[in-house]
Amino acid sequence: MYDPIMRVLTLLEILQARDRVTGAELAERLEVDLRTVQRYIVRLKDLNIPIDSSPGVGGAYRLRPGFRLPPLLLTNEEAFALSLGLRALRQIGLSAVAPATESALEKLRRVLPEALKESIRTVEDVVAIEPGPWVVATSVESLIRAASAIRAGKRIRFHYQAHAGAASRRQIEPYAVMHFDGRWYLIGHCLARKAMRTFRLDRVTDLVVGTASFRRPAGFDAGRYLKQRMPFIQSEYQIEVWIDMPVEEAERTFAPMRVIADEQRGGTRLRCGRDRLEMFAAMLLSMGRRIVVHSPPELRETFRQLARQAREAAGEPPSTRS
């Protein structure tokens, strides 16, 4: 469950949250035996934490009345930011950490001065945070293991389900994990392919941190790497369109949307990959510029569908044109 230090800290949290707790309850919660609980109590006492205990089979422990850990020194803005950040984890596909989020918030509530607890209550009561429709849930365990391996400079192994459905077993030297456009990506040097590869972390399973070490390239910039390659990573459709817009304006407009923009015939050629076409087509129409579709043909059909929906919304009769 925990390493010894985490168990000791958890024991202290339990004692702070309850007036009285038995040794048996602590042993069950910490997944250890009674003798180990007693050792942890002794360790806390060695740290000058005043713990009273009652002897006997039903013996219990409690913090001496009046003892509390000192308040956590945060500004009002810092307390608000911490609470908001914990609540927003679902926005980046980490809804599985909800129990840990609640536990962390409860710890904040216990140690913050009363004046700062209002910041947490504000987030809970008046700030609504829901994940967007394109956010993909990701294994927190895989994320933590990958990040730990990167920090330690260890190779990792995992099963991978590619976009087309093909399954493979990979071993890589991981360089970075990065959240972008509602998804987590794992970047590293694939030993089988002998080249850099980018993997969707939500398609990774059975991730194991190995013992072999490696040295990550100094100054590796995950953001720059993905910016160069992201538009074409594992997407259902590869898009190429021309838009009547100066390339400088297009680069500013489409910069956050993983799109490559090149000057072409007085306008801009846009290239990217997408799993769904509706949002991208609607976004292009919102520019109010002339558009020429080169590929895929499904994008033209998407525009036709949007046109039919627009006519219906405007109250016009359906077009008889096929």
The DSSP secondary structure of 141-181, one letter per residue, reads HHHHHHHHHHHHTEEEEEEEE-TTS-EEEEEEEEEEEEEET
CB 222 within 8 A of CB 215: no
Q: Which of 83-87, 122-126, 153-157 has the highest mean pLDDT?
A: 153-157
Arithmetic mean of pLDDT over the chain: 85
**Residue 170 in this model has a pLDDT that exceeds 90:** yes
Q: What integer is the mean pLDDT of 151-172?
A: 92
pLDDT score for 182:
78
Q: Which of 21-25, 204-208, 255-259 has the highest mean pLDDT?
A: 204-208
pLDDT score for 108:
78
Gap between the Cα atoms of 191 and 209, Å rounded = 15
Gap between the Cα atoms of 40 and 49, Å rounded = 12
Cis peptide before 217 (omega within 30 of 0): no
CB 224 within 8 A of CB 210: no
Instruction: Identify the three-state secondary structure at position 314.
Output: coil
CB 152 within 8 A of CB 172: no
pLDDT score for 57:
62
**Residue 293 in this model has a pLDDT that exceeds 90:** yes
Instruction: Identify the three-state secondary structure at position 206.
Output: strand
Sign of the CA dihedral 191, 194, 198, 204?
negative
**How far does Cα 188 stand from its chain's mean position?**
18
Q: What integer is the mean pLDDT of 119-133?
A: 75
Full set of structural domains in the chain with CATH = 4-63 (1.10.10.10), 76-126 (no CATH), 140-229 (2.30.30), 235-313 (3.30.70)
Residue 74 CB neighbours (<10 A): 17
The model's pLDDT over 247-283, given as tens digits with 9 standing for 90+, comes to 999 988 887 667 888 999 999 999 988 878 998 999 9
- Range of lowest pLDDT (7-11, 207-211, 233-237): 233-237
pLDDT score for 235:
72
pLDDT score for 149:
95
Gap between the Cα atoms of 146 and 201, Å rounded = 9
**Residue 130 in this model has a pLDDT that exceeds 80:** no
In DSSP notation, 209-247 reads EEEEE--PPTT--HHHHHHHHGGGSS-SEEEEEEESS-H
pLDDT score for 226:
78
Q: Enumerate residues 6+ apart whose C-beta is below 8 A from 260.
A: 231, 270, 271, 272
- Among residues 125, 110, 112, the alpha carbon closest in space to that of 79 is found at 112
- Taking phi over 0 as left and psi of -120 to 50 as alpha, with beta for the rest, 91 belongs to alpha
**Residue 316 in this model has a pLDDT that exceeds 70:** yes
Grade residue 47 by pLDDT with cuts at 50, 70 and 90.
Answer: confident
More confident residue, 228 or 230: 228
pTM: 0.58
* H or E segment to which residue 205 belongs: strand 204-213
**Residue 232 in this model has a pLDDT that exceeds 60:** no
DSSP character for 89?
Answer: G
pLDDT score for 208:
96
pLDDT score for 68:
67
Grade residue 243 by pLDDT with cuts at 50, 70 and 90.
Answer: very high
Grade residue 289 by pLDDT with cuts at 50, 70 and 90.
Answer: very high
Grade residue 1 by pLDDT with cuts at 50, 70 and 90.
Answer: very low
Q: What integer is the mean pLDDT of 72-84?
A: 78
Q: What integer is the mean pLDDT of 159-174?
A: 90
Q: What integer is the mean pLDDT of 208-224?
A: 91
CB 51 within 8 A of CB 44: yes
Q: What integer is the mean pLDDT of 112-139?
A: 77
More confident residue, 71 or 216: 216
- Among residues 241, 166, 163, 242, the alpha carbon closest in space to that of 198 is found at 163
Q: Express as a percent the part of the chain with pLDDT over 70.
A: 89
CB 53 within 8 A of CB 41: yes
CB 135 within 8 A of CB 147: no
